[in-house]
């Protein structure tokens, strides 16, 4: 897979994720958009690493750290959304003004 193909796929993923974050009001859909944006950034990172340093494996640890952050972000976000749904019956972002603190 060439560099331009990987960058093109990452740009499409980033665009879809950005559209999802900016256009949705549901917290779960916003988190899915953020996951797509992080996935696109990770794909860019791996593509440039493979293009610039094909024999080095140092970036793999950083990719694992980014994947861990993605999993933690999803777990915390879904926990907040689940608690919000249990208490208020909705996970719409317009109705979350009571989460101040």
Task: Give the tens place of pLDDT for each residue, 35-72.
Answer: 999 999 999 988 998 888 888 877 888 888 888 988 99
User: How many structural domains is the chain composed of?
Assistant: 1
The verdict on pTM exceeding 0.85 is no
Task: Give the tens place of pLDDT for each residue, 8-41.
Answer: 999 999 999 999 999 988 888 999 999 999 999 9
C-alpha to C-alpha distance for 89 and 71, rounded to whole angstroms:
25
CATH number at residue 17: 1.10.287.3510
Name which residue leads in pLDDT, 81 or 1. 81
Domain annotation covers residue 98: no
In this prediction, residues 84-89 reach a mean pLDDT of 83
Local confidence band at 96 (pLDDT 50, 70, 90 cut-offs): low
């Amino acid at each position: 897979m060439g560099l331009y193909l990987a960058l093109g796929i990452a740009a499409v993923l980033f665009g879809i994720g950005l559209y999802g974050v900016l256009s949705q009001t549901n917290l779960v859909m916003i988190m899915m958009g953020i996951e797509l944006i992080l996935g696109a950034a990770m794909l860019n990172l791996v593509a440039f690493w493979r293009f610039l340093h094909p024999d080095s494996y140092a970036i793999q640890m950083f990719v694992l750290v980014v994947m861990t952050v993605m999993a933690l972000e999803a777990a915390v976000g879904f926990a907040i959304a689940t608690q919000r749904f249990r208490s208020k019956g909705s996970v719409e972002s317009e109705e979350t003004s009571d989460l101040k603190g």
